Amino acid sequence: MKKEILHKPIRKVFLISCVGKKLDKFAPAKNLYISEWFQKAWAYCHQRSGMGTETYILSAKHGLLWCEEYVDPYELSLSDMPVSDRKAWAAKVYKSLADMENLGGLQVVVLAGDKYREFLVPLLKAAGAVVKVPMAGLGIGEQLAYLKKNTP
């Protein structure tokens, strides 16, 4: 008799960085960011998500945002922050994610630039998460081309 091997499903989380182009009113986070890049990144994640998959937004102002969380528009970017503030931001995001998810074995797909990843990714990896950055090393135009090519 053949023994059936049961595979534990891979838990996956998508993290998308905020963008500068926003609505000018209070809105759910998933609708607040209106750039073409964000819209394509959102579609990319949802095309690849499945049962038990979450998508969160990496907000320079708020840290980790749940997509349905309502927020006001703001003007802040990690690119404008000193290193100490970016480290504190990464620790805050890490804690928020760790409070919601068991990071050991979690696959985290990050669609965000270097400043959003630099201190966050090492924290996630140290906690046992498997981090994927499909657009690492690509400029913003190349990222948009990648998203267009890989999203309906």
- In tens, the pLDDT along 7-35 reads 455 688 999 999 999 999 999 999 999 99
Reported as a pLDDT band with limits 50, 70 and 90, residue 119 is very high
The pTM of the whole model exceeds 0.85? yes
| Local structure of 103: helix, strand or coil | coil
Task: Identify which of 125, 122, 149, 123 has the alpha carbon closest to the alpha carbon of residue 135.
Answer: 149
What pLDDT is attached to residue 105? 84
For residue 2, what pLDDT band results from cuts at 50, 70 and 90? very low
Cα–Cα dist 118/128, whole Å:
17
pLDDT of residue 50: 63
Residue-level pLDDT at 133: 97
Q: What is the mean pLDDT of residues 77-89?
A: 95
Average pLDDT, the chain: 90
Identify which of 44, 46, 50 has the alpha carbon closest to the alpha carbon of residue 149: 44
Q: Which residues pair with 71 in a beta bridge?
A: 27
Q: What percent of the chain has pLDDT over 90?
A: 77
